[in-house]
Structure 1
Amino acid sequence: MWKKFKKWADIHGPIYRTSMLGQQFIIVSDEQIAQELLVKRGHIYSGRPQIRALMNHKTGPGYVALMDRNDTWTRQRKWVHAAMAESHKHHFYGVIENKVRRFLAVLLLDPAKFHSNIREHCGRIMCTLAWDDAGKGKDYGDSADCTLTQMSVSGPIVNTMTPLWSIPWALNPWKKYERAREDRQWAWWLQSYQVAKARYLRRELCADTWSHRYFEELQRQGNEKLVQNAEEERFASCMLGFQNLVGVITITGPLQFFLMAMTLHPEWQTKAQEEIDRICGDRMPTTADIEDLPIVRACLKETLRWRSGVPLGVPHQAERDDEYMGETITKGTIVLACEWSINRVPTRYPDPETFRPERYLEPTWPTYQEPLSKYPNFREGHGMHTFGWGRRTCLGQHIVDDEMFVTGASVLWGFQMSKKRCPETGMEIDIDSEATNAHVILETLPFPMDLMPRSEQRAAEILTGYAEIRDSLRV
């Protein structure tokens, strides 16, 4: 669909109207127009459209990113923003580095499963930060994938053929499935929340977690024993649970695309590894090295431009009638700032179809910014629309910055990535860089890649690094 939208933009211009099954859409393929509508007029275009296969997501409390603006949305978003910002000041308390050390050991011992292990790795980081329980990492990854299926056009047919949702309950398989799925998910989040609460009261819960922060705030407000009714517990458990889930689905795909990009562009893999070796030597990169590794950051950022994880953008909905460029935009119209198109505007991104990290490293490119000790990054500067617009901007940019950097740089430090060769012919097996699932947030389909330690010494360093932190991993 994103390719079709770009084709229409090339014909009809950077903003045009279309309709599908009676729903009005405005498709934006220009960064300035998106800023005008979704940022400067964010008070009009901050609604979320109904995703038919999800229940009550617009009112909450289960899906803060999918709610309309209301009191629940405001409270959850404010709390998550503060928790993320505070954690980022401490670079997430070393959790990312510890989990990456484990991830490198997993890659070393079972490289063939790199694709699925990336999702579990992202889940383990988020579960540790939220609940102090990395053991739920794989389950959160699977739950995230299931939720994305329900959200996506490619998911249940009721997301496109919406009248089917009105079939009476007794004959409606989509309502029955979603009711059961959501009940299981909410019960799981609530159980995680209640276990964390009990551990907090026993003083067993790690202080470097978001649940600890939440319970501590309740006690400061006078609720010493953390007594809550069912509604209050559901509010908090959904807020933390969904924050956890989003942290998995927004980072897994970009990391998969990054490994693919390094495999397809060995010249940039070599440049990044030379930079890492010069700065880090025989130790794994950490967040302390961010300023000194601009080539690595450029490769990471170019990955998200070249293969956006959200190529359609996340939809906004007009909350009232508006007018733009002499055209009326009626209440309920869905506005899509199409990432695939915006990332391919030639004046902004010359040679847009080519993976070119130098666009962030050399002054002759439009996206170059100084100082290179700061730019490029995922939180600010050119090309930050990947994380949404205005009042609906993603709250996880801080953790994306750290987790993408440490994981990506560390894999480059430890491993050599290359195309697999056919055992019969000896020829390299091609990789289809656009072969993905069809969710609203993409992951790559499993692709053939050889992942080998860069040397016997590096393999030993990976195992030693894991052994040093193994007993401190919280499961």
Structure 2
Amino acid sequence: MENLALVLLYVAIPSLLFSAVQQILSWRKKTLGSDEPKFPGPKQYPIVGRIHDLPRFSMWLKFKEWADEHGPIYETHAMDQTFIIVSDEKIAEELLVKRGHIYSGRPQIRSLIKHKDGPAYSALMDRHDIWKYQRKWAHAAMAEAYKHHFYGHVEKEMKRYLGLLLLDPARFLDYTREYCGRVMSRLAWDDATQGKKNGDSADQTLHCMSVSGPITNTVTPLWSIPSFMNPWYKYEIKRESEQRAWWHNNYKLAKHRMQRGELPNDTWAYRYFEQIHREGKTDYEQSHEEEDFASCMIGFVNLVGVVTISGPLKFFLMAMALHPEWQKKAQDEIDRVCGDLMPTMEDFPNLPTVRACLKETVRWRSGVPLGVPHQAERDDEYRGVKIKKNTIILACEWSLNRVPEKYPDGENFRPERWLDPSWPTYQEPLTRYPNFREGHGMHSFGWGRRTCLGQNIVDDEMFVFGAGTLWGFNSGPKICPLSGKPVPIDTQATNSHVILEPNDFQLTFKPRSEERAKHILEGYQSVIGQLRL
């Protein structure tokens, strides 16, 4: 292994030297023009900028530390890339919303091949015709499904999840990600059996696009190693081709079902086939390029619905176990409203405490703590400072969620901030707020023209999951059989992906009563005949 690393290093030397020369010239140029106004920031070093002490894991903690020192907008560099880090909502709105026509590009993720061109990853593309079409299509498809609260699939899969949790509670983390994958795969292709593969595929994709993933995402010259001996390039070619083949196969299976009249009309695949039928393709046949475009469009919407919800749900389970007083408050509310019936979306207006615990989870342990990067598509100027084309703007979610004026006691889990009028984030009526569709804290879904389209499904899926688990189970930390003490849970230990999940942790789940366990099993039995398991 050492010999391989040495060989790779020697092969990379030419590109590293070239990058170093570029940096020296750039540094010299900046030094000569040092009288120009610039944003504050940590001390920079020639060539490397500030990459040498920037952690690949939990980078948001360092950005928060620098924000506390340098203010709500500051600048730093990593090799040849300039970053502007924002920790103030108003500044983020001025740049990423009001100037969205400038700051809506996406930076190149070195280890994710051709993602800016399309058609595989619409959220990571540049703003071109492929992106515009896919985003418009996905927005319409998601909005139509939301009108019907996703056709009851969220509640059906929740009954399955509760049954599995009752039978094998130790696997709650696996079941949680699979729950998200099954909901999305059912909506996409009417095949919930793809749920586990969907979750695994999403996790692999996130690894490749994260600074905590391949080292080529941070030491970018290594990507210039010739492809025949570049392990990162070889891995990504294999991963991406397998993912697209999987998406395409699901698309073809759905097409054959559509041709036989067997595909449900509540799927996104049906919506697409119906559209091309109206365009005159009555047999639903298309070129390979057109099918690749469509299968990637549906596949990516499917994938994003897993990665954006799975992590927050796991953090919610963690939060409830670590804060039994709020678990009890939410359960009392559920019992008053729902009794022995599992909560559904119809109970949404009457369960504000449940919604507050969910909303606070996403603030306390954000699923996207760095924020998703925007890139300047042309030169600009802000507050007298020139911002050059290709500069990356990061609205750091971890910092935004801890601004004292808006989120007092920001380090601690405080659901009352959404329920008590004395807190800055309180909104009325409580039959409507808090939620994940509107109101305070919506920066979790991004900014401006790159805002995530999934607020509605996040709102439904997280509510049904949170209310359902609290209705069915009491949870707490795992008790060590030797010491009799709770097994510690590190609430900040994560995979550090750009959209993250917590590292594995242990909890106990016990049905709240024998009667409640009976209802859980009855619910499971009522849906297993309808679900493809």
TM over 0.5: yes
Q: Does the 8 A contact of 1:205 with 1:212 survive in 2?
A: yes
The answer as to 2:209 corresponding to 1:151 is yes
Residues in 2 aligned to 1:152 and 1:373: alpha-carbon distance in whole angstroms: 38
Instruction: Provide, for residues 284-325 of structure 1, a one-character-per-residue CA deviation record: whole Å limited to 9, x for no partner.
Output: 001111111100000000000000000000000000001101
Deviation of residue 430 (structure 1)?
2.0
Shift of residue 429 of structure 1? 2.0
1:281 aligns with 2:339: yes
> SS state of the match for residue 472, structure 1?
coil
**Match for residue 334 of structure 1?**
392
Displacement, 1:176? 1.4
Asked if residue 115 in structure 1 is aligned to residue 176 in structure 2, the reply is: no
- Residues 92-147 of structure 1: per-residue CA shift (max 9 Å, x gap): 00000000000000100010010111111110110000000011100011111110
Q: Give the one of 402, 412, 419 matched to 1:344.
A: 402
DSSP 3-state at the match of 1:438: coil
Could you tell me how far apart the structure 1 residues matched to 2:495 and 2:299 are? 24
Match of 1:188 in 2: 246
2:92 aligned residue: 34
> In the alignment, is residue 451 of structure 1 matched against residue 489 of structure 2?
no
Q: Which amino acid aligns with 2:465?
A: T
Distance 1:231 1:448 in 2: 46
> Following the alignment from structure 1 to structure 2, what is the Cα–Cα distance between the partners of residues 422 and 167?
49
Match in the other structure for 1:356: 414
If asked which structure has higher relative contact order (CA below 8 Å, sep 6+), I would say 1
- Residue matched to 1:138: 196
Pairing 1:393–2:455 present: no
- How far off is 1:209 after superposition? 0.6
Structure 2 counterpart of 1:79: 137
Residue among 110, 132, 151 paired with 1:93: 151
CA distance in 1, matches of 2:234, 2:181: 28
Unaligned ranges ≥5, structure 1: none
Q: 2: distance between equivalents of 1:428 and 1:60? A: 48
Could you list the runs of 5+ residues in structure 2 that have no partner in the other structure?
A: 1-58
Residue 372 (structure 1) aligns with: 430
Q: How many Å apart are 1:170 and its aligned residue?
A: 1.5
The reply on whether 1:64 has 2:102 as its aligned counterpart is no
SS at match of 1:290: helix
In the alignment, the residues of structure 2 paired with residue 116 and residue 444 of structure 1 have an alpha-carbon distance, to the nearest angstrom, of 12
What is the match of residue 221 of structure 1?
279
* Corresponding residue SS for 2:74: strand
- Say yes or no: does 1:178 pair with 2:246: no
Report the TM-score, using the length of structure 2 for normalisation.
Answer: 0.88
Residue 161 of structure 1 deviates from its aligned partner by 1.1
Letter in 2 for 1:288: E
**SS of equivalent residue, structure 1 residue 301:** helix
Code of the residue aligned with 1:63 in structure 2: it is: Y
| Cα distance in 1 for residues equivalent to 2:509 and 2:387 | 51
Query: What residue is the counterpart of 1:197 in the other structure?
Result: 255
Q: 1:129 aligns with which of 168, 187, 206?
A: 187
TM-score w.r.t. the length of structure 1 is 0.99
Give per-residue Cα distances to partners, 1:382-405, cap 9 Å, x unaligned. Answer: 110000000000011110000000
**d(CA) in 2 for partners of 1:230, 1:406:** 39
Deviations 1:236-260 (A, max 9, x none): 0000001111111100000000000
Aligned match of 1:5 = 63
Question: SS state of the match for residue 528, structure 2?
Answer: helix
**Residue number in structure 2 paired with 1:439:** 497
Is structure 2 residue 353 aligned with structure 1 residue 295?
yes
**CA RMSD of the aligned region, Å?**
0.7
Q: 2 CA distance for matches of 1:107 and 1:455?
A: 15
| SS across alignment from 1:372 | coil
Q: Does residue 161 of structure 1 match 2:219? A: yes
CA contact (8 A) 1:128 1:474 kept: no
Number of residue-to-residue matches in the alignment: 475
Name the counterpart of 2:474: 416
Q: Which residue of 2 aligns with 1:244?
A: 302
Aligned-pair CA distance for 1:373? 0.6
In structure 1, the partner of 2:367 is: 309
Q: Shift of the alpha carbon at 1:41?
A: 0.4
Q: Which amino acid aligns with 2:320?
A: M
2:505, 2:230 → 1: CA distance?
37
